[in-house]
Amino acid sequence: MERVAETDDSGAPLNAKQRAHFEKRLLDERKLAVREVGRLDESLGASATAADGDLTSYPFHMADQGSDTIEQEKNFLLASQTGRLLLHIDEALRRLYRSPETFGRCESCGRVIASERLDALPYARTCAACQKREENATPAVADGPALT
């Protein structure tokens, strides 16, 4: 069975140097996410002709039209996912600025989140153990009603 580090070894809250490190990481992640949302927004706003590079809007084949639709759907989903990431980053920055003493503490159990986890996901709200417990308790979202 895989062992998950639940908390930082020290159990102490983050010091000013660590908070500054995570602030920089969050701001860097935010900059990348904003750039990606802008790029995806441009591709979603482009006309069908401009988006696929065709010189005419007349579809030569139904498969071409289907490919264009799939590409637009993929870009929409990526923009949505990146938008949610941006929301998580902004919430983490708010937590860091409003109550720096609680940043890096698990919102479920109150323990200090392991620094390795915060390095990987600086916007993490829960420790690895609570996140795993939450994922195991939450059923997967389905497209329709459950078939039993």
pLDDT one-digit tens code per residue, 121-141: 999 999 999 999 998 886 655
Q: Residue type at 125?
A: R
Q: In this structure, which CATH number among 3.40.50.720, 1.10.3470.10, 1.20.120.910, 3.30.10.20 belongs to the domain 16-51+69-135?
A: 1.20.120.910
- Rounded Cα distance between 65 and 133, Å, is 44
In the predicted model, what is the mean pLDDT of the chain? Answer: 79
* Residue ranges covered by each domain of the chain: 16-51+69-135
Query: Residue 56's pLDDT is what?
Result: 56
- Rounded Cα distance between 10 and 15, Å, is 12
Query: Residue 146's pLDDT is what?
Result: 47
Which tokens sit at 3? 């062992």
Q: How far is CA 100 from its chain centroid?
A: 21
Which tokens sit at 130? 């609570």
Confidence class of residue 5 from pLDDT cuts 50, 70 and 90?
A: very low
- Of 31-35, 39-43, 55-59, which range is least confident? 55-59
Which tokens sit at 115? 């620094």
Closest CA to 68 of 52, 46, 50, 44: 52
Task: Tell me what the mean pLDDT of segment 87-109 comes to.
Answer: 93
Give, in order, the Cα–Cα distances in Å from 18 to each of 63, 70, 79, 122.
53, 43, 31, 11
- φ and ψ at 7, to 5 degrees? -140, 170
- If one compares 41 and 143, the residue with the highest pLDDT of the two is 41
Query: Residue 52's pLDDT is what?
Result: 53
- Rounded Cα distance between 118 and 121, Å, is 5
Query: Residue 54's pLDDT is what?
Result: 56
